[in-house]
Chain A
Amino acid sequence: MEEDVGVTSGIRAMPVSMIVKKPSFQSAVINLKEKFNWLIHVLFLRQEYDECSRIIDETLHESKGRSEYALYAKALILRVKGNIHESLELFKKCHMLNPTYIDYLKQFGRSLYLLGRHKAAVEVFDECLNIDQNDWETYLFKGLSYKYMRIYDQAIKCFRKANEIHPNDQTYLELGKLFAAQQDYKSAVEVYLEGLEYSPENPELLTTIGLVYIRLGENFQAFQFLGNSLTLDPKNPKSILAAGSIIQDKSDHDAALLKYRIAAVYNPDSAELWNNIGMCFFGKQKYVAAIACLKRALYLDPFQWIASFNLGLVYLNTDQYASAFHYFQSAISLKADFSNSYMYLAITLNKLGDFDNSCAAFKKAIELDSNDCTVFLNFAIVLYNNGYTQKAKEIFSEAEKIFQTLEEDDREPEMMDQRELLMEALGVAQ
């Protein structure tokens, strides 16, 4: 009688699915193999992996390695600890013991995928689909494998299929990333926004949308999403940095610095962060601090061309033309297709008294981006200052053409001043 009570209370504590699965608890064989499954499950969920492994080993010893669930749990633990090779073998064993159960096969495929054997993984996932056509996870992982094999159209197909069956944040993120990788930012934003409908409070999704909007140049939109992301996850250094840069663009340097201060605690070694801080100081016209910060950025990441470019700008502003020249030059050799680098290099060269090379640099800048008003304007100014009035007029008319197409927002006050001065000097009517 007493024994009976013990058994029933034991059953009550077990997960419901287990009772349904193994109703004939009296059978000694099943008892041996499965009696600790509930304990393994609970320990695994509590992440008490050491204790869990111990129980699993005992179970496996008793059942001579034929307990499916124990093997499965062991494989999961091994994977969490980073031993994917071993976990792969165990999943294989599970699959051999029970070839119809889709989970084992799926995890087997996932392990292959984690090991970077993407072709084999795709084959396994195809096999999974033979068992169950409507498993969204299989599609997601298959898509991921395709992504790493760089077969993007197949990957997109898989992700879309997965979303049809069951929409999930991760699928949306991966799909968006794929579009972003192919520089198709519009589609990426669409995908992300669609994902956001299903989970409006996913900070990662929000941050990613914000970053894509920045790339598209829509700062206002971007700031909204980044702000939302920051309210949900106020310590995410990526969002802080992005939000800070937008604030900085609006010339609110103190607020931006405040944001960066938060990020600096989490990642003091980030070159991008120091670059932005440096430019904040530049905006506040604290040139020494700006140079110190930018130099630190350059020390942390010497390949960062934009830090070099910024340093050049600061030196240009402090009338140290030789240093500015060096930094513009190194920025250009690290990234040769940025027209502004050439323009500033040209200005520096002119200040250094090398008019011929200055002109060459201006021409190169125009060649790279023939739609930038400032380049033409600066070229015209340099030409005029060197006495080539006629040539200056020609270039200035080019600048005017672009100027007319500019929107009101893009007409910076400094540019307007220079334009009017030059007009007067050249004697061109409004």
Chain B
Amino acid sequence: MSLRTQACSERPCSRQCRSVGARACTCDQFKLTTLYNLNINKEMDPFFLAVSRFNRQRYDDCITICTQMLEKNPYDQAAWLLKCRALTKKSWIDDLEIDEEGVADILMDENAINNAPRPGTSFSRPLTSAQPGGISQVMRPMSNAGRPITGYQRPGTNRPVTSSTSRANLSTALQGQRPGTTRPVTSGGRMLRLGTASMQQQGGQFIMADKLNAKNVAKKKHIAKAVVDYLIYVESNFRRALDIASEATLLQGYNDWWWKARIGKCQFKMGLIKDAEKQFLSSLKNQDMVSLHLELAKVAVRQDQPQKAIEVFNTGLKTHAFETHLITGIARVHDMLNDPAKAITFYKKILVFDNSNIESIAQLASYHFYTDQPEVALRFYRRLVQCGVNSPELWNNMGLCCFYASQYDMALGCFDRALTMADDIAAADVWYNVGHVGIGIGDLGLAYQAFKIAVSHNPNHAESFNNLGVLELRRGNIEQAKNNYIQSSKIANYLFEPCFNAALLMLKKGEFQESYSMANQAVQIYPDHADSKELLKNLNQHFSVM
């Protein structure tokens, strides 16, 4: 923020000069008002205009004006600085929120401190339904990353369960409804768009990062800050940014929290987690900032230490008691540990400070829905509508709540509304739920058709395939049922239902080999499923009889 005011106050005199010139024109003639207006436009100080555009967040316009100015005078520092800021702002991303490891990072993940953590103390071993507080996979369905469905979709909710045993889950990253978007492929993560990663270095480069002299840049205090931000947010060139930042912090006598925070950010991005943590801690001593606490928690999360992350948030809350970001952080950690009951207390706390926090409301709603309280969930969803959220997902959820609260007339209306604004992927989900309503009221014809439509919207809708299989079986079409189950289990390796169903069907047909492999798959996905275990026991008996 300090940068921007600096840039504006540099040339007040030149602006005055030109405005005087403009005033001189007014003496000419009364007739030429239109012309006179034009003149003013032509003569208006381009830098003033650029700053104004910048403040109005019209960064593209600002950049064009600055570029024109720089063409005239390549040594115009103010224009250069403003352009640098505008470029940075244009591709600015709130990286505190969207930290997500790329596929490669997870595969090579060696940051975890504990290799054999106890359940509940690691993201890779979250609570299961067997433990108190855990979620039953039957009650709460899974997302395609193998996590319980959350009420609010953000990058972190797709985090796969990464541990040495379940590395295979990584394959989910490139599957699903929108392959490749469930998880970033490159280590740049969400910082770079997929297509642009390779084109980064080509054409129209504003700063030649490799030709910068770190020491010289660091000496120019304010320019240095802009340059470092540019390198981080636009070019993702963390190494050069780190060079400059380390020179700068040296010049400041290690007393500027901002530089330390930037060094930490660069090191974090480069994977030097331990060094980053040191920088953040030392920066925190200079100045207690909320963002630093968040960064520190990110470090703990990356090291797979959820308890420590919560501790970091709690220390932050001592000085910033009403900071919802910190509370949200705690809630998310609990969520990732599959402990929604604890998370929910924090989401409630957030609502005390910020009563239209969309994430909290959505999470509370889904929690109540999956704990058999559809009426309460409905109230939260209605609050979301009041907050101005208007998405097919929301109307779909309202429809489901209405259905489970036995308000059938409302339910179908909600689904109708969801369908009118849904795209193909969402429409498939809505139709899937309509199918469930069909089963619920016993209208199996409607259910069958709804599932068929869901599959036609999204050929990868595994849940619909599974349910189609069940309906086919009720109609007596055994072969079609089997095909549907197998199709479903192929698409989604996070669903245990199709595997179990297929295993049961094969067992009844006497095809023990296939039944065995399917039952095994089901138990792998959901280790606590009593029926699958019973089935496997049965099969093992068959196999071990001499």
Binding partners A and B: yes
Task: Collect the chain A residues with CB atoms within 8 Å of residue B542's CB.
Answer: 114
Assuming the contacts A266-B530, A292-B372, asked whether A326 and B441 have C-beta atoms less than 8 A apart, the reply is yes
Assuming the contacts A269-B138, A269-B530, asked whether A295 and B443 have C-beta atoms less than 8 A apart, the reply is no
In the complex, A182 has a CB within 8 A of chain B: no
Task: A428 to B299: give the CA distance in the assembly, Å.
Answer: 86
In the complex, A275 has a CB within 8 A of chain B: no
Task: Collect the chain B residues with CB atoms within 8 Å of residue A114's CB.
Answer: 512-513, 542-543
Q: For residue A269, which residue of chain B has the nearest CB?
A: B138
* B511 near A115: Cβ-Cβ < 8 Å: yes
The size bracket of the interface on B is 35 or more
Interface 9-mer from A153-161, A298-306, A376-384: A298-306
Q: For residue A311, which residue of chain B has the nearest CB?
A: B406
Task: A113 to B542: give the CA distance in the assembly, Å.
Answer: 10
* B442 near A80: Cβ-Cβ < 8 Å: no
Task: Collect the chain A residues with CB atoms within 8 Å of residue B514's CB.
Answer: 116
Q: For residue A332, which residue of chain B has the nearest CB?
A: B442
Task: Collect the chain B residues with CB atoms within 8 Å of residue A267's CB.
Answer: 530-531
Task: A267 to B129: give the CA distance in the assembly, Å.
Answer: 11
Instruction: Output the residue of B436, B509, B520, B543 with the most chain A CB within 10 A.
Output: B543
Task: A30 to B516: give the CA distance in the assembly, Å.
Answer: 38
Minimal beta-carbon separation of A54 from chain B (angstroms): 21
Task: Collect the chain B residues with CB atoms within 8 Å of residue A82's CB.
Answer: 513, 516-517, 520, 539, 543
Task: A269 to B512: give the CA distance in the assembly, Å.
Answer: 25
Task: Collect the chain A residues with CB atoms within 8 Å of residue B516's CB.
Answer: 82, 84
Task: A226 to B370: give the CA distance in the assembly, Å.
Answer: 35
Q: For residue B514, which residue of chain A has the nearest CB?
A: A116
* B406 near A326: Cβ-Cβ < 8 Å: yes
In the complex, A268 has a CB within 8 A of chain B: yes
Assuming the contacts A85-B513, A308-B442, asked whether A300 and B138 have C-beta atoms less than 8 A apart, the reply is yes
* B474 near A303: Cβ-Cβ < 8 Å: yes
Task: A35 to B55: give the CA distance in the assembly, Å.
Answer: 89
Task: A84 to B545: give the CA distance in the assembly, Å.
Answer: 13
Task: A270 to B372: give the CA distance in the assembly, Å.
Answer: 16
Task: Collect the chain B residues with CB atoms within 8 Å of residue A76's CB.
Answer: 546
The answer, among A170, A295, A302, for a CB contact under 8 Å with B372, is A295
Task: Collect the chain A residues with CB atoms within 8 Å of residue B406's CB.
Answer: 323, 326
* B136 near A115: Cβ-Cβ < 8 Å: no
In the complex, B106 has a CB within 8 A of chain A: no
* B138 near A333: Cβ-Cβ < 8 Å: no
In the complex, A148 has a CB within 8 A of chain B: yes
B443-472 with Cβ < 8 A to chain A = 443-444, 470
Task: A76 to B511: give the CA distance in the assembly, Å.
Answer: 18
Task: A252 to B268: give the CA distance in the assembly, Å.
Answer: 64
Task: Collect the chain A residues with CB atoms within 8 Å of residue B129's CB.
Answer: 268
Task: A330 to B439: give the CA distance in the assembly, Å.
Answer: 8
In the complex, B183 has a CB within 8 A of chain A: no
Task: A334 to B444: give the CA distance in the assembly, Å.
Answer: 8
Task: A170 to B530: give the CA distance in the assembly, Å.
Answer: 24
Task: Collect the chain B residues with CB atoms within 8 Å of residue A351's CB.
Answer: none
Beta-carbon contacts of A69-84 to B below 8 Å, as 1s and 0s?
0000000100110101
Task: A281 to B34: give the CA distance in the assembly, Å.
Answer: 86
Task: Collect the chain B residues with CB atoms within 8 Å of residue A269's CB.
Answer: 136, 138-139, 529-531
In the complex, A331 has a CB within 8 A of chain B: yes
A256-302 with Cβ < 8 A to chain B = 266-270, 292, 295-296, 298-300, 302
Q: Which 8 A-B pairs have the closest CB atoms?
A: A333-B442, A330-B442, A116-B511, A267-B530, A148-B510, A269-B138, A114-B512, A82-B516
Residues in A lying within 8 Å of B, measured CB to CB: 76, 79-80, 82, 84-85, 110, 113-116, 118, 148, 170, 237, 266-270, 292, 295-296, 298-300, 302-303, 305, 308, 323, 326, 329-334
A-B contact pairs, 27 of them (CB 8 A): A80-B540, A82-B513, A82-B516, A82-B520, A84-B543, A113-B510, A114-B512, A114-B542, A116-B506, A116-B509, A116-B512, A170-B545, A237-B530, A268-B136, A269-B136, A269-B529, A270-B530, A303-B474, A305-B442, A326-B408, A326-B441, A329-B442, A330-B440, A330-B441, A330-B442, A333-B441, A333-B442
Q: A116-B512, A331-B442 are in contact. List 20 more A-B contacts (CB 8 A).
A: A80-B540, A82-B520, A110-B545, A116-B514, A170-B545, A266-B530, A268-B136, A269-B530, A295-B404, A299-B372, A300-B138, A302-B436, A302-B440, A303-B439, A329-B442, A332-B442, A333-B441, A333-B442, A333-B443, A333-B444
